[in-house]
Amino acid sequence: MNTVNEIKNYILKNIHIESPEVWEFEILPQVTKLINSLNQTEINEFSNCALEWDDKILYLITLSFYDVTNIFLDVTEMYINIFCKIKNIEYLELLVENDIPFIRPPYDTVEKLKDWNIEQLKNLKENIEMAMTIKSKSWNETLNEVVAYLNKQIVIKASR
């Protein structure tokens, strides 16, 4: 079986399990192991195919990212791509709450966005703004910095 499909199928097989402990100690380590086992070709396939998956599957995949060590996967970039794709406000809130280090200043992680097209930048900005509607003022200050940076990048891209 294709390992990329194996990741999706494994998550789907276990998606009904609600126990955080089972996810933390059994399911996510297996997802991490599967991602870490991918070769460069499979990582490219994973990076493209996974972005077409359901919001819940995407959210659950990000939970394994802290332990992913695959040298072929830029976890930060993949996380940002997933963040852009998810439209479910509940998952966006959880991503911002759990994984804000991936999208906040310093901009060393956000610098990758300079290669993105305007549409990708607008999607990221839109999702961050959507997340801001449900987060506290202290979160919004950080997220406003990211939005300001994205606005600047959009203007730069539009002027080219």
DSSP string, 69-108: --TT--HHHHHHHHHHH---HHHHHHHHHHHGGGTSSSTT
pTM of the complete model = 0.76
Distance of CA 141 to the CA centre of its chain: 21
State the pLDDT at residue 74.
87
pLDDT tens-digit profile of 9-64? 999 999 999 999 999 999 999 999 999 999 999 999 999 999 999 999 999 999 99
Q: Is the same domain home to 59 and 102?
A: no
Residues 101 and 44 in one domain: no
In the predicted model, what is the mean pLDDT of residues 107-117?
63
Residue 70 has φ and ψ, to the nearest 5°, of: -65, 120
Asked if residue 126 and residue 47 are part of one domain, the reply reads no
Q: How many domains does the chain have?
A: 2
Q: Which of 47, 73, 99 is the last residue of a domain?
A: 73
Domain extent for 134? 76-160
Read off the pLDDT of residues 116-151 as tens digits, 9 standing for 90 and up. Answer: 777 877 888 888 787 777 666 666 676 777 778 778
CA 32 distance to own-chain centroid: 15
> Which pLDDT score, from 0 to 100, does residue 100 have?
52
Same domain, yes or no, for 28 and 52?
yes
- Of 24, 55, 73, the domain-final residue: 73
- pLDDT at position 160 is 76
Banded pLDDT at 101 (limits 50, 70, 90): low
The pLDDT mean for the chain works out to: 83
